[in-house]
Chain A
Amino acid sequence: MTTEFWNGNMAAAQAVKRARVQLIAAYPITPQTHTVEYLSQFVNDGELDARMVKVESEHSALSACAGAAAVGARSFTASCSQGIQLMSEVMYFTSGMRFPVVMAIANRTLSVPVNIWPDHQDTLVNRDSCWLQIYAVSVQEVYDLMLMAYPIAEDPEVNLPLLISYDGFILSHASEPVVTITQEEADQFIQPPGQTDRAILDPENPLQFGEVLFPEWYPDYEYKKHRALADSLTVIDRTFRKFKEQFGREYHVVETEGTGDAEVVIIGIGSMMQTARYAASEMRKRGEKVGVANLRTFRPFPEEELVKAVGHAKTVLVLDRDIGYGTSGMVYQDVTRTFYHQEQRPELLNFIIGLGGKDITPKTIERCLELGKPGFTGQSVFWPDARGPKEGIPYSEGLTA
């Protein structure tokens, strides 16, 4: 165990090396590119016994990874932004065939306008591709979550692809101290590749994947996929506990701070939730009861844990670093669905912040809290970062008839 000073892309690559990944295929795109560059160096230097496959696009990169998974190999790719959109078709194939491919995403917004900076648009629009989506909030978490990625994805109860998301630049290019683990420790935690009981392509035992399924059985297959994703929460929780037993660092699907007696709870995903923790602790010093609940997993969506975390809070502020065009933020949609049938339903307000890398500072969070103070007054979705109709007044929207 040593403490290194790594950026997020390096932390991801180092964890992939520890997982003894066997096949890597990716196409370069800022701010992900380093991840695969580091890995290709490890392979070149003999530190990782993996096959690097050069491909002409992200569509092919994920296809190669899915093909490797089909024969039982452990495969990895990394991408972001338009790259994931080009992969999108294959993402559905990968989850449909129940291949536990792991992908690192250095979140970057979607074009156009062209912009290389972070928001969560790229991963959230792939919400329904039946991939697990886990979000890191620090470089240490990028490393730890990537170490846990294969044990979760390859668990016989899951067998689904998984992506680990971390904000471009603000985590991918930022360096922070990372407590590392040795290969021996990793081998105890992560089952060596190739030892799988799942169905794989094998000439001795011929099988077919990705077959036509007629309407008679289609809903049954879909229900199983849907349940596997929803129930993966149990496996994630089990893996988090096992990780804590072995390495001491504690993870929860919903990470809370100060929610116990909070009147206002801030909810969201990604690195901005650390800044929110900072802002909330500053507000507490001024006597305001603010709590923070970071959703570490967006898929599966941790409904019960979220309801528990919010407790008796009167108001919930959902921060979305994304926009479901024409409606609200995408995390907000799941949060409102979660609370609709609860007996105690807090007021739910939505804040669209940090789009295209707009910096989310403690002031941004304080502004959201300020705007949320009057509670629901007909407006539920606020855009504090955009230049509003008047100085100091942001655009806000309610339900329109």
Chain B
Amino acid sequence: MDSTSINLAPGVTGTDMHEVRLVGRGGQGVVTAGDLLGKAAVLEGRYAQSIPTFGPERRGALSQCTVRVSKDEILLKCSSTSPGVLVVLDSSIWHFAPITLGLVPGGRLIFNSTRPPAEIDAELRGGKYGYQPGIDDFEVLTVDATSIAMEILGRPITNTSMMGAFVGATGIISMDSLARVLEERFGEKAALNIQAAKAAAAGIRKIGD
């Protein structure tokens, strides 16, 4: 997918900075995904930052990572307060944490889910899990990253697929840059991960699809 054809996701209001919140469970590769997305942006000559937040627990607990991308140095040293993009790697963890906190108007939410995006959209707007986005202007997208990962990688590790979906849905970095950092990080295993990323970018479902 050519990133120039994508309608760019919104940045932090009044700045050229993009703020992305990655949400998943420990062990799903949230921290690695944040690190690699930041690295890809740096490859493109931009400034980036990836700040993970997790607790002393290990696998299975809530794990989040803030990624910021800007043309200039980023001064903020805190977790995301105004994300324009949410990438949710796990299909159930978001029931337990107010993941939409601070979401900016026009925000894009990409869920790893087999469900139609309209269902998740209705649940979020209805406050089914005890919190609401606080704004009306946002778009829910879904991609079945777990099936893609199982089919291509043979393991339910969805971070590389979800990074692909992020590229496909936001245009904040290019698929070429993502492929380059995956090659650097995963060596021989990169080819399948790049295949998974591209499959996920192509498999995004919008409301009404």
Q: How far is the CB of B115 from chain A (nearest CB, A)?
A: 31
Considering the complex, give the chain B residue whose CB is closest to the CB of A278.
Answer: B75
Within A359-377, the residues touching B (CB, 8 Å) are 359-363
- Contacting pair B75 A275 (CB below 8 A): yes
Set A7, A137, A363: member contacting B77, Cβ < 8 A:
A137
Contact flag A176-B76 (CB < 8 Å), given A30-B56, A363-B81 = no
Set A173, A176, A359: member contacting B52, Cβ < 8 A:
A173
Within B88-105, the residues touching A (CB, 8 Å) are none
- Contact mask for chain A residues 273-284; partner B; CB cutoff 8 A; 1 contact, 0 none: 011011000000
- Contacting pair A3 B42 (CB below 8 A): yes
Most buried by B among A169, A176, A360: A176
Set A3, A30, A275: member contacting B78, Cβ < 8 A:
A275
* Residues in B neighbouring A275, C-beta threshold 8 A: 75-78
Bound form: Cα–Cα A21–B24 in Å = 39
Q: Is A167 an interface residue, CB under 8 A from the partner?
A: yes
- Contacting pair B78 A361 (CB below 8 A): yes
- Contacting pair A174 B75 (CB below 8 A): no
Bound form: Cα–Cα A173–B75 in Å = 16
Bound form: Cα–Cα A359–B64 in Å = 14
Contact flag A170-B50 (CB < 8 Å), given A5-B35, A30-B56 = no
Set B38, B52, B75: member contacting A5, Cβ < 8 A:
B38
Q: How far is the CB of B84 from chain A (nearest CB, A)?
A: 16
* Residues in B neighbouring A167, C-beta threshold 8 A: 77
- Contact mask for chain A residues 1-12; partner B; CB cutoff 8 A; 1 contact, 0 none: 001010100000
Q: Is B131 an interface residue, CB under 8 A from the partner?
A: no
Considering the complex, give the chain A residue whose CB is closest to the CB of B73.
Answer: A138
- Contacting pair A116 B55 (CB below 8 A): yes
* Residues in A neighbouring B74, C-beta threshold 8 A: 176
Considering the complex, give the chain B residue whose CB is closest to the CB of A277.
Answer: B75
- Contacting pair A360 B78 (CB below 8 A): yes
- Contact mask for chain A residues 181-200; partner B; CB cutoff 8 A; 1 contact, 0 none: 00000000000000000000
Q: Is A175 an interface residue, CB under 8 A from the partner?
A: yes
Please tell me the number of chain B residues within 8 Å of chain A, measured between CB atoms. Answer: 22
Q: How far is the CB of B10 from chain A (nearest CB, A)?
A: 18
Considering the complex, give the chain A residue whose CB is closest to the CB of B36.
Answer: A5
* Residues in B neighbouring A272, C-beta threshold 8 A: 77
Most buried by A among B35, B74, B77: B77
Q: Is A177 an interface residue, CB under 8 A from the partner?
A: yes
Q: Is the interface of B mostly helix, strand, loop or mixed?
A: mixed
- Contacting pair A175 B77 (CB below 8 A): no
Bound form: Cα–Cα A84–B39 in Å = 33
- Contacting pair B50 A174 (CB below 8 A): yes
- Contacting pair B81 A361 (CB below 8 A): yes
Contact flag A362-B76 (CB < 8 Å), given A5-B39, A174-B49, A175-B49 = yes
- Contacting pair A170 B78 (CB below 8 A): yes
Contact flag A177-B81 (CB < 8 Å), given A274-B75, A278-B76 = no
Contact flag A173-B51 (CB < 8 Å), given A5-B39, A277-B75 = yes
Q: How far is the CB of A179 from chain B (nearest CB, A)?
A: 11
Considering the complex, give the chain A residue whose CB is closest to the CB of B79.
Answer: A359
Q: Is B7 an interface residue, CB under 8 A from the partner?
A: no
* Residues in B neighbouring A271, C-beta threshold 8 A: 77
Q: Is B48 an interface residue, CB under 8 A from the partner?
A: yes
Q: How far is the CB of B75 from chain A (nearest CB, A)?
A: 4
* Residues in B neighbouring A61, C-beta threshold 8 A: none
- Contacting pair A169 B77 (CB below 8 A): no
Q: Is A171 an interface residue, CB under 8 A from the partner?
A: yes
* Residues in A neighbouring B55, C-beta threshold 8 A: 116
* Residues in B neighbouring A362, C-beta threshold 8 A: 76, 78, 81
Bound form: Cα–Cα A171–B74 in Å = 13
- Contacting pair A175 B35 (CB below 8 A): yes
* Residues in B neighbouring A30, C-beta threshold 8 A: 56
Contact flag A174-B76 (CB < 8 Å), given A5-B38, A361-B81 = no
Bound form: Cα–Cα A77–B91 in Å = 42
Considering the complex, give the chain B residue whose CB is closest to the CB of A174.
Answer: B51
* Residues in A neighbouring B138, C-beta threshold 8 A: none
* Residues in A neighbouring B49, C-beta threshold 8 A: 174-176
- Contacting pair A171 B77 (CB below 8 A): yes
Considering the complex, give the chain A residue whose CB is closest to the CB of B49.
Answer: A176
Bound form: Cα–Cα A5–B50 in Å = 9
- Contacting pair A175 B38 (CB below 8 A): yes
- Contacting pair A5 B48 (CB below 8 A): yes
Most buried by B among A30, A137, A173: A173
For this complex, 29 residue pairs linking A to B, each with C-beta atoms less than 8 Å apart, are A3-B42, A5-B35, A5-B38, A5-B42, A30-B56, A116-B55, A137-B77, A138-B77, A169-B52, A170-B51, A170-B77, A173-B31, A173-B51, A173-B52, A174-B50, A175-B35, A175-B39, A175-B48, A176-B49, A177-B42, A271-B77, A274-B75, A275-B75, A275-B76, A275-B78, A278-B75, A359-B79, A360-B78, A362-B78
Task: Identify the B interface with A (CB < 8 A).
Answer: 31, 34-35, 38-39, 42, 47-53, 55-56, 74-79, 81
Beyond A5-B38, A173-B51, A274-B75, 10 additional contacts (C-beta under 8 Å) are: A116-B55, A167-B77, A169-B52, A171-B77, A174-B77, A177-B42, A274-B77, A275-B76, A277-B75, A278-B75
Task: Identify the A interface with B (CB < 8 A).
Answer: 3, 5, 7, 30, 116, 137-138, 167, 169-171, 173-177, 271-272, 274-275, 277-278, 359-363
The 5 closest A-B pairs by CB, nearest first: A271-B77, A278-B75, A174-B51, A5-B39, A274-B75
